[in-house]
Amino acid sequence: MSRLLLFALFLGACGEPISDEPAALPKPKPPKPAAEASADGAAPEDLVAEAYYYNPAGKRDPFQGFLNKSQAAAQQVAADAPPLQRWDVERFALRGVIWDTNVPRALLVDPDGLGHVVRVGTYVGRNWGKVSSISQDGLVVTEEYETLDGELVVNPVSIRFAGRELR
């Protein structure tokens, strides 16, 4: 068995002889001088090249980390944000709802204990979530964000009274 395996390896290794010299590569053609213009005075097509300019507008900085923000920068953004956009949506508590009117409203209490009256269309949360509906049991905040792949993700977050399910 081992002789058969050794013979198969030896037979498989046979093929083209191995040379110490590298394979010959085709030589590139030298560029034509600019003086060799065509009969009508136009430059040859080989010499005409488009200039490329990099425009970083709208592109992500490749040297900037996309997951880790510094704590100081995050705290500065939170301090400059409107009161309803300083915390994540999940940190708000629902304390009251006026829902049987033309313009339903809800009372949200932030972690600092301040109350805020919101209606449909009000921005809530750090991810620019918008109140999309208000019912007698609670409200729904819809957050939209874009993934790294460029895919749009819609995330509905419900805020409800403690112990009740949203209808």
- Which residue would you say has higher pLDDT here, 119 or 71? 119
In this prediction, residue 132 carries a pLDDT of 95
For the stretch 108-145, pLDDT in tens is 999 999 999 999 999 999 888 999 999 988 999 999 88
Both structure tokens of 57: 């507008």
For the stretch 5-56, pLDDT in tens is 666 666 665 555 556 666 666 666 666 555 555 555 555 555 556 777 777 7
Distances (CA, A) of 24 to 27, 30, 91, 92, 129: 9, 18, 69, 72, 64
In this prediction, residue 1 carries a pLDDT of 65
| Domain 88-160 in CATH 3.30.230.10 | no
Query: What is the pLDDT confidence band of residue 58, given thresholds at 50, 70 and 90?
Result: confident
Q: Give yes or no for a contact between 134 and 158, defined as CB atoms under 8 angstroms apart.
A: no
In this prediction, residue 114 carries a pLDDT of 93
Contact residues for 60 (Cβ-Cβ < 8 A; gap 6+): 66
Q: What is the pTM for the complete model shown? A: 0.51
Length of the chain, please? 167
Strand order in the sheet with 123-124: 123-124, 129-134, 138-146, 152-160
Q: Map out the domains of the chain as residue ranges.
A: 88-160
In this prediction, residue 165 carries a pLDDT of 54
Quick one: average pLDDT of 94-114? 92
In this prediction, residue 123 carries a pLDDT of 95
Quick one: average pLDDT of 63-74? 60
Among 10-14, 62-66, 67-71, the least confident range: 67-71
Query: What is the pLDDT confidence band of residue 103, given thresholds at 50, 70 and 90?
Result: very high
Query: What is the pLDDT confidence band of residue 102, given thresholds at 50, 70 and 90?
Result: very high
